[in-house]
Chain A
Amino acid sequence: MAEKEGYWYESAVQQTSRNFFEDESSATKMCGVSLGGTAKLSQQIKAGLGGIGTDRYPVDSLSGSLSGLVLKGDEEKVDLELHQLIPERTLQKIMDADNEDFSFITHSLTTEKEELRMLRRHYESRWSPPEVDSVVTASLLGRPYSLEHYKSLKHKKELLKAAEMIGDGDLILNVILFLNRTLKKKLFHDILAASPVAVQHYTNYLATTKQIPVLTDTLEMLGRSRDAAMKLYFEACTNPQRMLQRLRVCSRNHFTETKDKTVLDNFIRLLEWQETYDGGKLLGSSVATCLSDLCLNHWELPKTSPHCPAAFCQNQVVSDRLYQWAALIARGKRQAWADIDGIFLTKGWLGGKKAKTDLPMEEVVSCMSRLGAPQTLLSSYMEFVDNLDKRLSLAKKLQCHRSAIDTYIALKDRLSLLSYKANLVPQSEDYIYAEQSLRNPAIRWKN
């Protein structure tokens, strides 16, 4: 699926704009810094520097030894030895904390008699459940513990409660799996129903271990059918071969929420459509990718064909803006500029043409320019950029002189037009037009 999406990305603003600004990189700016400026500086500094990082392999770096190159800055100043930083006693305490037999070290018993007494007590109580608190502590500190002796329901419940109280997820899960193993379903479910945190850990576990039927049954049992539906949907999407079939089951049996169902049914319609289209070559692609393909290859199909762009848009309830953008790029790539008016223009009141689009017109014009649209087309669309300042800067950026001159006239800005004219090729068509305009007495200049 990912590879196919590349197809669409190819036409995206981001990618094309980069190519475009190759020549005009001064136009891409960020916080007042232009791409061209950095590129120039970069060249300047790299001159006489044999590339960055290719000649310097750090001696001690892991990634370096694994993947080849790592550029390491200067070593931070040599660290002080540990004992200079912290007292030995503190260090020992920290190292001991990792020790699984820690409790024996610290509570070292003074006399043999005491030790014997303790051991005897341990031996005598070996079949009774350990204190809940000791289990909690053991788990928290990463020491071994056993749950096997929690036999009575009361003890089991206490255990879970204690685990939840301390909030140790590993212990909570371990207890809940233990309860599942040692209690009948009804009792287990009652406990689950009363404990959302336990459910959370249990369902995560079921999802990770791919026990999907148990997972969805559990969620359904707890009245969380929407969560169950989403899980099934997610699972369906991970299996391209049986996706459609599984999604249909989802739609029939599990999706009750209308908004979700609308989306799912759209998805099913899309997959069904994709199966019929061009040997299934776009199976699994997004709506945008399909639409691009249609506009590129099946523009001429009659409205009645399910493979014509308009019918597809209807099928998938595609927004006008997405359709217009996809169509613009596709027709532009084909250099089919005659189709553009049909995408964007409608007839106005008095037979005049009006642009009808939610897209920002300056983006539309920029895009046309990138795709190599003729100047006349650009100029005519430039008119639809309502904001005069934007229109002016766009006209300048795209070297659309005619539009720039017209915009100066609309702004009644004689002085700026004068200086603009100075940069035009003398006696070119645009130059003459600017001159004529400057002499035109009908224009009331503001300066």
Chain B
Amino acid sequence: MQVSLDEKLGALSQISQRKLLDILTKISGRKDLIIDSSLIKPLERIVGVSKLRAHGVDKIYKLEKGDIPFTNTQRVFFVNSDLITVKHVSDKINGEISQKNDGNSYHIILVGRKLQSVVNMLETEGTLGYVSLFVFQWELIKLDTKFLSMEFHSLYKSLFVDGDQSYLPVLARSIWTLCTILGRPLVTVVQGKHSQVIDKMLGKMFEELGTPNRSDSEVGCMFIVDRDVDYASSLLTGCTYSCLLDEVFGIKSGIVEIKDNKNDIPGGYFLSSADEVYSQIKGRHFSDVFPYLSTKTKELSQTKEKSQTMAIHEMKQFISKELSAVTNFKKKLAYHISACESIISHMGHRYEGLQNAEQNILESRSRRETLTYIEDCLSMNICDKYAVLRLMCLMSLTQDGLFPDELQRLKLQFFHMFGYQHLTVFHALEKSGLCVEQPALLSTEVKGVNLANKVVQAVPLPTRKSTFTNFAQKLKLFPPVGDNYELNNPTDLSYVFGRAYIPALCQIVNQICKKEITIEDLPKILPNCTVKNLGGDQQNFRTFLIYIVGGVTYAEISAFQLLEKLTGFQIVIASSSTINGNSIMKSFFQQ
């Protein structure tokens, strides 16, 4: 039987499920499961309630501050392996034990890895004797066709804000499993500091845990890249339906929750390709979503009219065969229409201004206008603090930093609007290189440096190109201006950003597919990039695996999916999590 690549990726969730159920089997008897609320959605993708029940789970509770009722003497905590969460669990267990010690037994399932600091803490707290510890390292979770994610949403912060590398082995392991199933890729491109570390670990794992049993490979070329290779793609506002859903509501593990004063729809909604409405519109430019929804609605009302004139036997047939399908379809349609409505009411008032500002920033033009726009945002409270910061970071990124007095002025206005306590946010952004001062052209000791800077501001130097501009031009990330481009029938990848910009990784793969560049060229184009060739025929591979360390955006996913259609290559996208500009900015607020 021929199994497709995508079906094979479905094995990953089943493996995760088996691992988890194995652990639950080891804890014999009936038990309460207490889940860290951030883990509910990923777990939803791995196992259903009935399987859990079949493995002895009786009641399921959310891990919360208050008391958790006892229904069984066995209590299993299912939590993230981080010090703070586990300390909370430890306190809870110690509290329960001191209250009534009537033979309860405790188990902690740590997600990810057993961090030594966590084990030491449990030892210090005296909890270790009472609990048994398990580690559950789930495999990549398949969220959509050829799209995999570890759903570690705090990983960006750990790596790029804190510089904490504790979870890199977990990512390396996820790649190891993937390679064990699909075979070792013929070529591996590794870019960026963290990816280099992961690659080293991966090599060690092949040594210790074994290489794939198969010698062939279903993946021709694997990319392991750091998120920071293309920050622009994560700071810009994507224009496809899935991008905007994520932008406005935040999609977690492929589940979205619409929150809106008017259209509040309780509960979450599974976004998957099995939903025929969603699979039709997810990658469309937003301007092209409404026409589809509206056409489908009209078609439905025609069906309804038709049904009213049906003869009895036709009606019977309709009710037994089609009605539930129609109602089902209608519900999905209704959901996505409400979602669109909600998106417009959240973003409509500022969308045009934002697009305009982003475009100007990308192309380094109308600097004054952009600054004014940012200041307008700050004084009139047009958007939230994350959106303002994104623009500032984008500006800093594309122009090698903001002028010192500009930055100071914007910072002050930011503090006035959102509070002085955010001084540390700018410090963290500066350290990460996301929002920095442009190094002054003149030594700061020279008097009148302010004047000099003002002159620089007033007279743009056309010859000097920023690092970003150079990079973008080298890779042709700004699409050529064409007149007859239709956003509803995109022919290049820039449509995901309203024709302003092509996500760098998508463009690289695109150029390789078209043989405009070779893989061997990449170390010259990308910083800190190495290429490893296992040998074999490089010319003929048709499959890419792209693993982004630190998070992938829905814009990139949409662009890759279009690229598949345009070129006929297969592209598997994997990442530590999905990410967008807002979540990146939020990472700098939690310290």
Instruction: Return the CB mask of B230-264 against A: 1 if under 8 Å, else 0.
Output: 00000000010000000000000001000001010
What chain A residues lie within 8 Å of B421 (beta carbons)?
Answer: 234, 237, 267
CB contact under 8 A between A68 and B267, given known A33-B340, A45-B330, A85-B7: yes
Closest to A45 in B: B334
Q: Which residues 26-63 of A have a CB within 8 angstroms of B?
A: 28-35, 37-39, 41-42, 44-46, 49, 52-54, 56, 59-63
A352 at the interface (CB under 8 A from B): no
Q: A73-B274, A168-B168 are in contact. Are A33 and B267 (CB under 8 A)?
A: no
User: B492 an interface residue at 8 Å Cβ cutoff?
Assistant: no
The reply to whether the CB of B8 lies closer than 8 angstroms to some CB of chain A is yes
B591 on the interface (CB 8 Å rule)?
yes
Q: By the criterion CB–CB under 8 Å, are B117 and A30 in contact?
A: no
Scoring B18, B269, B351 by chain A CB atoms within 10 A of each residue's CB, the highest score goes to: B269
Contact partner of B420 (CB less than 8 A), chosen from A30, A177, A267, is A267
- Of A17, A68, A169, A363, the contact of B168 (CB 8 Å cutoff): A169
A39 — which chain B residues lie within 8 A by C-beta? 341
Does B433 interact with chain A (Cβ within 8 Å)? Answer: no
- B191-223 to A contact mask, C-beta < 8 Å, 1/0: 000000100110011001110111000000000
Report B-chain residues with C-beta under 8 Å of the C-beta of A360: 376
- Are A97's CB and B173's CB within 8 A? yes
Q: Mark B272-292, 1 if CB is under 8 A from A, else 0.
A: 111100100000011101100
The answer to whether A33 and B169 touch (CB under 8 A), given A45-B334, A93-B180, is no
Q: Is the CB of B43 within 8 A of A62?
A: yes
Of the stretches B379-387, B517-525, B526-534, B550-558, the one at the interface is B379-387
The verdict on A398 contacting chain B, using a C-beta distance below 8 Å, is no
> Chain A contacts of B200 at CB under 8 A?
166-167
Q: A102 → chain B, closest Cβ, in Å?
A: 8
Q: How far is the CA of A142 from the CA of B118 in the complex (A)?
A: 13
Measured CA separation A80–B4 after assembly (Å): 11
The one of A17, A86, A205, A230 in contact with B427, judged by C-beta atoms closer than 8 angstroms, is A230
Among B97-105, B405-413, B507-515, B568-576, the stretch that binds chain A is B405-413
Q: Would you give the shortest CB distance from A27 to chain B, in whole angstroms?
A: 9
Mark interface residues in A2-22 (1 if CB within 8 Å of B CB, else 0).
000000110111100110000
A288–B375 touching, CB < 8 Å: no
**A73 lies within 8 A of B330 (CB):** no
Q: Is B327 an interface residue (CB 8 A)?
A: yes
C-alpha gap A94/B1 in the complex (Å): 23
CB proximity to B under 8 Å, residues A249-308: 259-260, 263-264, 266-267, 270, 286-288
- A359 contacts partner chain B, Cβ-Cβ < 8 Å: yes
Residues of chain A lying within 8 A (CB to CB) of residue B352: 30
Query: Within 8 Å CB of B274, what residues of A?
Result: 73-77
A84, B412: Cβ atoms under 8 Å?
A: no
Closest to B498 in A: A31
Residues of A within 8 A of B381 (CB): 8-9, 11-14, 288
Which residue of B272, B341, B383 contacts A73 across the interface (Cβ within 8 Å)? B272
B60 at interface by CB-CB < 8 Å: yes
Closest to A208 in B: B83
Among B41, B173, B272, B382, the residue within 8 A (CB) of A14 is: B382
Answer whether residue B162 sits at the interface, using C-beta atoms and an 8 A cutoff. yes
Verify B265–A166 contact, CB threshold 8 A.
no
**Which residue of the partner chain, among B48, B139, B208, B332, contacts A61 with CB atoms under 8 Å?**
B48
A87 lies within 8 A of chain B by Cβ: yes
Q: Which residues between 312 and 360 of chain B lie within 8 Å of chain A, taking CB atoms?
A: 327-328, 330-335, 337-338, 340-341, 343-345, 347-352
| Chain A minimum-CB-distance residue to B373 | A360
Cβ-based interface call for A431 (8 A): no
Decide if B470 is an interface residue (CB 8 Å cutoff): no
Are A85 and B379 in contact (CB-based, < 8 A)?
A: no
Chain B residues closer than 8 Å to A82, beta-carbon distance: 11, 14-15, 18
Cross-interface CB contact of B201 among A79, A142, A166, cutoff 8 Å? A166
B297 nearest CB neighbor, chain A only:
A45
Residue of A nearest to B382 (CB): A13
- Consensus secondary structure, chain B interface: helix
CB-based contact B420/A358 at 8 Å: no
CB neighbours of B450 from chain A (8 A): none
Closest to A28 in B: B348
- What number of A residues sit within 8 Å (CB to CB) of B? 119
Q: Indicate if B166 sits at the interface (CB-CB under 8 A).
A: yes
Whose C-beta in chain B lies nearest to the C-beta of A291?
B416
Q: Which of B120, B213, B266 has the most CB of A within 10 A?
A: B266
Cβ distance A174 to chain B, nearest Cβ, rounded Å: 4
Partner of B268, one of A71, A77, A259: A71
Specify the chain A residue showing the minimal Cβ separation from B325.
Answer: A74
Residue in B43, B204, B261, B408 whose beta carbon sits within 8 Å of that of A137 in the complex: B204
Nearest-Cβ distance from residue B343 to partner chain A, whole angstroms: 7
Any A CB within 8 A of the CB of B62 = yes
Cβ proximity bits B161-187 to A, threshold 8 Å, 1 near / 0 not: 011111111001100110011000000
Question: Is B128 part of the contact surface with A, judged by Cβ < 8 Å?
Answer: no
- Beyond A200-B162, A321-B376, is A90–B267 a contact (Cβ under 8 Å)? no
Q: Which of A30, A45, A73, A89 contacts B347 (CB 8 A)?
A: A30
Cβ–Cβ contact B287 & A71, under 8 A: no
Interface pick from A312-320, A379-387, A408-416: A312-320
**Do B286 and A31 have beta carbons less than 8 Å apart?**
yes
Contacts of A174 in B (CB 8 A): 116-117
Task: Pick the residue among A136, A173, A234 that contacts B166 (CB under 8 A).
Answer: A173
Contact A62-B287, Cβ < 8 Å, known A28-B348, A86-B8: no
Q: Which residues of B contact A75 (CB under 8 A)?
A: 274
Residue of B nearest to A96 (CB): B209
Q: A42-B337, A98-B135, A317-B412 are in contact. Are A230 and B351 (CB under 8 A)?
A: no
Most chain B C-beta atoms within 10 Å of own C-beta, residue among A77, A142, A360: A142
Residues on A with C-beta less than 8 A from B169 are 139-142, 168, 170
Decide yes or no whether A212 CB sits under 8 A from chain B: no
CB atoms of B10 and A73 under 8 A apart? no
The 8 closest A-B pairs by CB, nearest first: A69-B267, A169-B165, A60-B48, A167-B197, A169-B166, A31-B287, A267-B420, A12-B381
Known: A76-B274, A264-B420, A322-B413. 12 other contacts (CB 8 A): A1-B419, A60-B50, A62-B43, A70-B268, A73-B272, A85-B7, A139-B169, A140-B169, A170-B169, A288-B381, A322-B416, A359-B380
B residues near A (Cβ < 8 Å) are: 1, 3, 7-8, 10-11, 13-15, 18-19, 22, 35, 40-41, 43-44, 47-50, 52, 60-62, 83-84, 113-117, 120, 135, 137, 139, 162-169, 172-173, 176-177, 180-181, 197, 200-201, 204-205, 208-210, 212-214, 239, 255, 261, 263, 265-275, 278, 285-287, 289-290, 293-294, 297, 300-301, 327-328, 330-335, 337-338, 340-341, 343-345, 347-352, 372, 375-376, 378-383, 408-409, 411-413, 415-421, 423-424, 427, 591
Q: List 15 A-B contacts (CB under 8 A).
A: A18-B261, A30-B343, A38-B344, A66-B40, A69-B267, A71-B265, A72-B270, A73-B269, A73-B270, A85-B3, A94-B15, A264-B420, A286-B417, A319-B409, A359-B376
